[in-house]
Amino acid sequence: MDNNFVDVVQGVIEDAIPKNKDRSSLVDYLFKYRFGNKLPRGRSFDRVRMLEKSAEFGSFIEELGDHGFFSNNESVVSPYLKMQWAMLTLAQMKGVCCYNLAALKDVINKLEGAAPPSVDLIKYNIPFKGSGSFAGYKHHHVPLLPNSYLSMIGKANKDGSLINETALLEAINLKEGKFDLNSVEEEISQRGARKGGRMTGHWLISRQEVGANIYLGVFPHSQGKHDDVWIKKCLFESERLLSKFGFANVPG
């Protein structure tokens, strides 16, 4: 196997991936933001200043809801998650980030049985450890980042490529100048101890109440225990809003 050739291919793929601002300071701030609070000064935050204006942001959420933006099962989506969803939509409209927000709706619909199971739901209904910070909750991985597969191919771990190098080479058709992403998807989707390349994503956190799922929020989680601290605070806020407003589109 020509390792140099594999390295070149991985380098080309990595260069081709759109640069996403997934964990920029601004995007991280928005995930931790308590809705209704004042935003910091600065041009970066001016783009999403609507978040401070309860009436205007509330109308924006209602408009998204009226167009069926959130889910085919809107009654299981908490007010906090709807606000997060609207916030990310606004941020994307203003060029702050680039997310595949349709994946969030798709995952919830599939979890609720509105669509047949698919390979998109590789990691879902995973309970957190009973003694941990998120005891009683479950999480589901949502591929919010575009080109997740390409990104995984471009990365390496202690064993080399996250994607088996033989599979990577088989996916390349030099004669036709094509790269077969379907074969790469199959490789990523494989389960088992030796398959380190399974697709992950943002955490969609939920819990059950009277046998029904309640989806409380969506969060990045690439920074381990540091993320756990602020995610827990966001879940407290989500539970508070849910207790106060039920499943209303726009909390006051």
Token pair 């999403």 in the structure block, residue: 48
Please indicate whether residue 123 or residue 32 has the higher confidence score (pLDDT).
32
Query: ∠ at Cα 108 (102, 112), nearest 5°?
Result: 145
Query: Is this prediction's pTM over 0.75?
Result: no
Q: Are the beta carbons of 48 and 87 closer than 8 angstroms?
A: yes
The mean pLDDT value for 115-123 works out to 59
Per-domain boundaries in the chain: 13-147+199-245
What pLDDT sits at residue 247? 73
- The Cα–Cα gap between 217 and 229 comes to 15
pLDDT attached to residue 3: 56
Give how far Cα 118 sits from Cα of 102, 109, 225, 233, Å: 15, 12, 31, 32
Q: What is the dihedral of CA 117, 211, 200, 148, to 10 degrees?
A: 60
Predicted confidence at residue 156, as pLDDT, reads: 45
d(C-alpha 217, C-alpha 206), whole Å: 7
Confidence at 157, pLDDT banded by 50, 70, 90: very low
pLDDT of 230 above 90:
yes
pLDDT at 153 over 50: no
